[in-house]
Structure 1
Amino acid sequence: MAKITVVGSISTDFVVTVSRRPEIGETIEGELFETSFGGKGANQAVAVARLGAETNIVGAVGGDGFGDLLIANLQEENISIENVERVTEESSGAAFINIENKDNSIIYIPGANGKVTKGSIERAHAVLEQSDFVLIQNEVKQEAVEETIDYCYENSIPVLLNPAPGRPLDESYINKVTYLTPNETEFSILFPGEQMENIMKRYPNKLFITLGAQGVKYHDGNEIVNVDAFEPKELVDTTGAGDTFNGAFAVAVTNNLSIKNCVTFANLASSISIQKQGAQAGIPQLNEVKENEYYEKEWNIK
């Protein structure tokens, strides 16, 4: 069984479903409210764990009741919490998600996630060293992202950076990561003014641009490849689809699939996730993916 470590945020999602967004100063009646477990780090860790890998997470929660629930949820998902710190002076992270017409917009409050620092990563070197693959996102401080990338690069540990939310990154770190998975908006922040095709060609089999319903584009060293998305039977909620993609991609890589098959498997898992409400609620178990009509038996994901 592969060992995958996720470095990232652990939060509570507060989800409001509305028919439209209110204008400034306006109050409208919402259709639905619910809370769920989230944070890009936790979401990706759940995806990795449900798809069959031994999973660790490096992160932080507050000293509040939400922190207790977040930790209990990780344990229930069979995710090691050895490197989850309790930050008593901060609230746990939170995301406020508005769902309109089955799409979403998000306001993110870091809380304790903002206390994941370079020192946090240094204290987690042992678990990183034992990992077959490492995932990280941008819902923790830049210094934590850079320390993770540096350590993985120096120790030849494959590392995937999901640069969400988008923020600039020095080219030296782009060169050090094994895989980079921005969406179109994040791509424009990382490579302002650049043509997508030119940058994909510069980073073959490293840069994977996720395009939602249009699939994923990357350059395979010879040409640009577009891997189509799978159309869901019913689109319910896109929250967490990207996190499912990244977690599934990591699992596929550690199962030694070809790059194109890694993307295809990740697209399939992502398409399943958007058929349920909630970021983590929709993330499929491995058997659910294997039972899907589009799962290829030769992938042999274990």
Structure 2
Amino acid sequence: MPKPRLVVIGSMNMDIVVETKQVPEKGETVLGQKVSFVPGGKGANQAVACARLGAETSIIGAVGDDAFGSQLLNSLEENDVDISGVKKVGGTSSGAASIYLSEGDNRIVVIPGANERLTPDDIDENEDKLVCCDVVLLQLEIPIETVVYAAKKAKSYGKTVLLNPAPAQPLPDEIFSNIDIFTPNETELISYTGLDKGKDSLEVGMKELRMKGVNHIVTTLGEKGSAYLNESDQVEYESGYQVTVVDTTGAGDAFNGALGFAIGEGKKIREALEYASLVSAIAVTKFGAQGGMPTEAEIQAFALEGNKLKDT
């Protein structure tokens, strides 16, 4: 079977990870245990996830002309990601994310830096990559104008477009008809639909998104797995896995990268969701967003261990 060809259009950040037993409250100072500088960014993370699974992966993005930019590019190259679509922006710092990691959970502040300089012109300059790919993956750590333009351009070539709407930002209605797979978490689903979590069901919000023109809506549920609105407008659940959590930073990116990879291989959405759930479970057992992305050999070994939770 030929390798799926994926293009990721998105952010590249240096993650400054502070490990601490206690996250400080307002006005409080606490002592941490460790600080690490780890290549990240949703776009770069998803690209590494796809490449480690065996996809021919390209990324379209932007870095600054600083030391972080060089490190980000080196990390991608080391993971066999094609970086010819990445531009260096002079006089601008690369994107960065400040991450507090405590008891296996995280709090994140993202500084876009050069990511804000990725424009529709950059999509046009890398049009050949869209023409040749199977799946295009998008997130929202780059300008919305560029995301909308890229989605339209990809659909004009008949490509499958997966949008991971994180971090949640207002989107124009025109984008939804150009999205094949939309993957919010529960908080993002509420943001895009006005869902009342105390009263409405996931089904209500997911149906609303389908009415806007999205074909497949998948809501990620953290350790519980994911929910999918099927062709009959019924919600189906894909359960999660019981694992020892080390770092959840790249879990969503592992899920989306694996989902795009599986769709690129020709898997149906339900089978692709099962695969994505498996990959994201393995990712959180290791430190670092990109460092935690598993290979196919690791996936096969983990699958034999039977760690799956009972269906929701």
What is the TM-score when the length of structure 2 is the normalising length? 0.91
Counterparts of 1:45-64 in structure 2, within 5 Å, are 45-64=47-66
Question: Are 2:204 and 1:198 equivalent residues in the alignment?
Answer: yes
Structure 1 residues 87, 31: CA separation in 2 closer, same or farther (over 3 Å shift)? same
Aligned to 1:299: none
Of 92-101 and 22-31, the range deviating more from structure 2: 22-31
Q: Tell me the alpha carbon deviations over residues 96-135 of structure 1, each in whole angstroms, 9 at most, x when there is no partner.
A: 1001221001000111111111111121211111111100
Aligned to 2:38: 36
Question: Are 2:264 and 1:251 equivalent residues in the alignment?
Answer: no
RMSD: 1.6
Aligned to 2:139: 137
Aligned to 2:249: 239
Aligned to 1:300: none
Distance across 2 between alignment mates of 1:71 and 1:219: 37
Letter in 2 for 1:198: V
Aligned to 1:111: 113
Q: Tell me the alpha carbon deviations over residues 249-285 of structure 1, each in whole angstroms, 9 at most, x when there is no partner.
A: 0111111112111001000000000001111111101
CA contact (8 A) 1:2 1:54 kept: yes
Distance across 2 between alignment mates of 1:29 and 1:40: 28
Counterparts of 1:48-197 in structure 2, within 5 Å, are 48-193=50-195, 195=200, 196-197=202-203
Residue 205 of structure 1: how far off its partner (Å): 5.5
Letter in 2 for 1:7: I
CA contact (8 A) 2:278 2:303 kept: no
Residue 33 of structure 1: how far off its partner (Å): 1.2
Unaligned runs of 5+ in 1: 297-302
CA contact (8 A) 2:195 2:205 kept: no
Unaligned runs of 5+ in 2: 307-312
Residue 294 of structure 1: how far off its partner (Å): 4.8
Question: Are 2:272 and 1:262 equivalent residues in the alignment?
Answer: yes
Distance across 2 between alignment mates of 1:276 and 1:106: 18
Aligned to 2:241: 230
Q: Tell me the alpha carbon deviations over residues 184-237 of structure 1, each in whole angstroms, 9 at most, x when there is no partner.
A: 1111111124643123235286110001011101111222101001111x1111
CA contact (8 A) 2:189 2:195 kept: no
Residue 171 of structure 1: how far off its partner (Å): 2.5
Residue 40 of structure 1: how far off its partner (Å): 0.4
Number of residue pairs the alignment of both structures matches:
295
Distance across 2 between alignment mates of 1:110 and 1:122: 22
Letter in 2 for 1:8: G
Distance across 2 between alignment mates of 1:247 and 1:147: 21
CA contact (8 A) 1:205 1:259 kept: no
Aligned to 1:279: 289
Secondary structure of 2:303 counterpart: coil
Identity fraction in percent: 39
Residue 57 of structure 1: how far off its partner (Å): 0.2
Letter in 2 for 1:97: I
Q: Tell me the alpha carbon deviations over residues 125-152 of structure 1, each in whole angstroms, 9 at most, x when there is no partner.
A: 1111111110010000001100111101
Structure 1 residues 150, 205: CA separation in 2 closer, same or farther (over 3 Å shift)? closer
Residue 295 of structure 1: how far off its partner (Å): 8.9
Q: Select the residue among 218, 224, 227 that pairs with 1:208.
A: 218
Q: Tell me the alpha carbon deviations over residues 35-91 of structure 1, each in whole angstroms, 9 at most, x when there is no partner.
A: 111000000000000001000000011101111111111111111111100001110
Distance across 2 between alignment mates of 1:134 and 1:23: 40
CA contact (8 A) 1:205 1:218 kept: no
Of 168-177 and 237-246, the range deviating more from structure 2: 168-177
CA contact (8 A) 1:133 1:250 kept: yes
